[in-house]
Amino acid sequence: MTIYLDYQSSTPVDPRVRAVMMEVMEQDFANPSSESHSAGWSARARVEEARATIARAVGCAADEIVFTSGATEADNIGVLGAAMGAPEGRRRILIGATEHKAVLESAFAAQRLGFAVELLPVDRNGMIELAHLQSKLGSDVAVVSVMWVNNEIGTIQQLEPIVRESAAFGAFVHTDATQAPAALPIDLTELGVDAASFSSHKIYGPKGVGALYLSAASPWRPKPLLFGGGQEQGLRPGTLPTPLCVGFAEAFSIMASEGSVERARVQSLRDELAKTLQGLLPEVQKTIEDVPQHPGTLHIRVDGINADDLLSRLQPHLAASTGSACTSGRPHNSHVLEALGLSSDNAASGLRLSLGRFTTREEINETASILRAAFALLRPTQ
C-alpha cells in the first residue's frame, strides 16, 4: 500500500463527511434555486445551513460566505474581480512572490486591463518583508494579496501587520487561506482582511467546492467573472451543488471542533519524521527554520539529488510532492523556492512531505526507511 504524505495537495474525504453527503444526495437532490416547491426549499435550507456552519468556523457572518467551485475560482474573484471593481486611479496590484499560481495568474490577467503587478519579495523562510511592502503602498494600490499559509513550504505568514498597513491606504486586502484551517485557528473578522479563499478538499471534504469570504466592510465589491442566474449575490452564478456544500460545511465543522488536538498530533509526527530522517541521513536539510509553519509540512532538500528522480524511485511506496511545477509540458523549478533565494540546482532538490489526519506513527517509521533506501541509490558518487 502507498503511504500518503501529500495532504497539502489533497486530503482524503473524512468518512463523517461522506456519510452526510450521501444523505443529502438521497434526500435533497432538488435544485436549491427552485422556489416553487418544498423539495427546492429543503435543498435551499441545506445550503444555507452549510453557509452558516462555515461562517461560524471562520468567524464571520453567513452572508459574507460565497460558495465557489474551489479556491482557484475564489482567488480569481478575490484578486482579478477585486481589481476590476476598484475605483478609478487604483491601478496597481501587490502580491507575494510565493503565491499560488491561482493568485499569480489572476493578477497577471489584470495586466491586460491596464493594471500593474508588483511582486513582494520574501526572506529565506518565505516571510514578506514588511518594510518593502510599506515602500510600495500608496493611494493607487487596488489589491494586496498575500497567502496566509504557504502550500509548498508551510510558512505561516504574519498577516496582521500586512493587513493593517495595506488597509491604511484603502487597498482591498485578499488572502489565499486554503491551507489555513488545518494549520491554525481562524477568526476572519479579527484578522481584518477583505476577502479570503478556501477549498473543501484541503480539509477532508469533497473536491469541486470552495468559498470566498467577502467582508461586509470591504472598501468595494469585486466584479463578477461569470454571468448567469444571479446566484450567490450575483457574484458567482450557477446551480449550487447541495451535497458538496453540505460536505464542505461538515468538514469545516470537524476541523473547528477537533483542529487543535489534530494539529498537535500531526506536528508531533512531523517533528519525529524530521528528527529520524536527519539522524539517518545527516545531509538532509530542512528548507524552513525558526518561523511558524503548517504543523503537517516538512520540506526537505539533499543537495545533489534531484527530487523528481527521487520521487520516481519512491513509487508506488510513497506519495509526496516535489518543489517543481510543470507548465505546458515544460519542467520549471519552483518559483517559491527560487523566491527564497535558492539556486536552480538546490531548488530542484526540494521535496515536500505533508502529513495529516490519517497519518500513523507506523507510516512515519516506514517513510524514513523508504527514503533512506531511495537516497542511497541516488546519492552522488564520491
Cα→Cα distances 100→107, 149, 254, 282, Å: 11, 10, 26, 31
Q: Are 355 and 313 in contact (CB under 8 A)?
A: no
Cell of 7: 495532504
C-alpha 354/C-alpha 308 separation (Å) is 16
Q: Any idea which residue has 451543488 for its cell? A: 241
C-alpha 265/C-alpha 296 separation (Å) is 9
> Of the residues 168, 326, 373, 377, which is catalytic?
326
Cα→Cα distances 69→53, 88, 300, Å: 18, 30, 32
Residue type, 248: F
Residue type, 206: P
C-alpha 43/C-alpha 213 separation (Å) is 22
User: For the chain, what's the residue count?
Assistant: 382
Is 326 marked active-site?
Answer: yes
Number of CB atoms found within 10 A of residue 212's CB: 26
User: In degrees, to the nearest 5, what angle opens at C-alpha 170 toward C-alphas 164 and 175?
Assistant: 55
Q: Any idea which residue has 503548517 for its cell? A: 294
Cα→Cα distances 360→11, 201, 203, 262, Å: 15, 20, 18, 12
Q: Tell me the catalytic residues.
A: 326
